[in-house]
Amino acid sequence: MKRTVTRAAVIRALLRKDLVLYARDTVYLVLTLVVLLATPLLFRAIPDRVDEELVLAVSPPVRVLLEGSASALESLGVPEEEIARIRQADLSAQEGLLLVEFADAEQLRKAVEGTLQVWRTPDGEFVFRDPASGEKRPKRARRVELQVGVALPERFVADVAQGKRGLEVTVYTNASAPPELRRAVTSFVREAAYQIAGEALPVTFPSEKEVVVGVDRLGAQIPVRDKMRPMLLFIVLMMETYSLASLVSTEVIERTVTAVLVTPAKVSDVIAAKTLFGALVSFAQALFVLVLIGGLTAANWSIMLVVLIIGAVMFTGVALFVGAAGKDFMGQLFYAMIFTIPLLVPAFAVLLPGSVAPWVRVLPSYPVIDVLVKTTVYGGGWREASGPLAYAVVWLVALYGAGVLALRRKVASL
């Protein structure tokens, strides 16, 4: 009696064959292991906090500015209540400002230039270190990077209080500092001068609530590590495209697929086995990395599973198309890069500040990375993810359909 072979049994046999071939491919097997091991290590090496404090160097020290100016004002006959107001002035009482004081302008210039290092101890004291002199690094101290500094005249406060004009203030800026920082410090000095002189600013600003648009993240900035989490997941999903495309291309070039079709297996069985193999491997790797980098929570686990499945099947469709188009290893690798590099563009566009260009939003990978960013970085839920996921499913059907059609035609031509 002849036993009937079920489609499920055929697909299982093909899956076992693909797993054996995958394990024998040393290049992609080693690459997969490296990615799975290196990704969590790289994630841990990325900074996990955002320093929103502006470090400003000033010379001479604020105490010298206030005391010297107060003495000068006394000799000029300024009323005592006005001198008391000047003594109580605090130039460092600005939110998000760390003031580093230097004895003279030359020392300040060296610190901004980088030839003089500034270290901050746990108790808040600053230690200056000259690397050229061989001085040891202070213990348990944190390096303070200075990008901008302000050198003021010692009689700056007195002259401003007296209403003098044309006072010379030097702003030192490191070559790596953005131009916006220099303009911000210049505005800060100008505002401090108005405050010392007891005059109101020449312009009136509305309240902060009226000018901040979108989500105000002042004091709650997203660390670089959290921003890189969706990028790393996306790369892990995409990497499986190369290995599956190589597997399909090898079977097509060596005509292994024609030998398989002599058995009870059909073309649909081969495609189903390749789809399951590629999607499961890609999904398992991405889920493994997601757990290691801490992106799976009780609130977002359902969204993450859905978007990882969609991404895995989407890149499996790309791999089927690439594997059917490649005529050799180099050809398959070339086609894989042509398709995957453009799909990587939305990952950078979404993470970088600013609005995303319309042509980027059209790319198939945009809704996938958009959901990953909204869910893992900003804590979005199904309300924010439902629209992009529906859009991703449309691209999924198109890409997977193109891959299946290309592979069917390739097998039929053998």
Write the DSSP string, 296-307: --TTTHHHHHHH
Q: For position 214, what pLDDT does the model report?
A: 47
- Contact yes or no for 339/357 (Cβ under 8 A): no
* pLDDT interval class at 306 (50, 70, 90): very high
| CA atoms of 131 and 106, how far apart (whole Å) | 16
Q: Residue 237: pLDDT above 80?
A: yes
Q: Are strands 126-129 and 117-120 parallel, antiparallel or unpaired?
A: antiparallel
Q: Which amino acid makes up residue 394?
A: V
* pLDDT interval class at 313 (50, 70, 90): very high
Among 325-329, 374-378, 396-400, the range of highest mean pLDDT: 396-400
Average pLDDT over residues 303-309: 93
Query: Average model confidence (pLDDT) for the chain?
Result: 79
* pLDDT interval class at 76 (50, 70, 90): low
The tokens describing 196, both together, are 């010392």
Average pLDDT over residues 103-120: 83
| CA atoms of 374 and 381, how far apart (whole Å) | 8
Of 266 and 28, more confident: 266
Q: Residue 190: pLDDT above 50?
A: yes
- Measure Cα distances from 184 to 54, 85, 179, 202 in Å: 10, 26, 9, 17
Q: Residue 305: pLDDT above 80?
A: yes
Tell me: the pLDDT tens digits for 261-277?
788 888 888 888 899 99
Average pLDDT over residues 21-46: 82
| CA atoms of 389 and 306, how far apart (whole Å) | 8
Burial profile 243-254: b = 16 or more Cβ within 10 angstroms, e = fewer: bbbbbbbbbbbe
Q: Residue 359: pLDDT above 50?
A: yes
User: What pTM was computed for the model?
Assistant: 0.69
- Contact yes or no for 225/320 (Cβ under 8 A): no
State percent of the chain over pLDDT 90: 12
Q: Residue 393 CB: number of other CB atoms within 10 A?
A: 15
State percent of the chain over pLDDT 70: 78
Please state which of the ranges 15-29, 184-198, 352-366, 385-399 shows the lowest mean pLDDT: 184-198
* pLDDT interval class at 207 (50, 70, 90): low
The tokens describing 171, both together, are 């702003």
**DSSP E strand boundaries for 82-198:** 97-101, 117-120, 126-129, 142-144, 148-151, 170-173
- Measure Cα distances from 328 to 261, 333, 385 in Å: 22, 9, 40
Of 116 and 124, more confident: 116
Q: Residue 1: pLDDT above 50?
A: no
Q: Residue 315: pLDDT above 50?
A: yes
Among 68-82, 192-206, 246-260, the range of highest mean pLDDT: 246-260
Average pLDDT over residues 56-62: 78
* pLDDT interval class at 401 (50, 70, 90): very high
Q: For position 87, what pLDDT does the model report?
A: 58
- Contact yes or no for 269/11 (Cβ under 8 A): yes
Residues recorded for the chain: 414
The residue written with tokens 């969609």 in the block is 310
DSSP H or E stretch at residue 54? strand 54-59
Phi/psi for 56 (5° steps) reads -125, 125
Q: For position 229, what pLDDT does the model report?
A: 87
Residue 126 pairs with which residues in a beta bridge? Answer: 120
The tokens describing 163, both together, are 């209403």
The sheet with strand 170-173 has its strands ordered as: 97-101, 54-59, 148-151, 170-173
Residue 58 pairs with which residues in a beta bridge? Answer: 101, 150
Of 342 and 327, more confident: 342
Burial of 267 (0-12, 13-18, 19+ CB in 10 A): middle
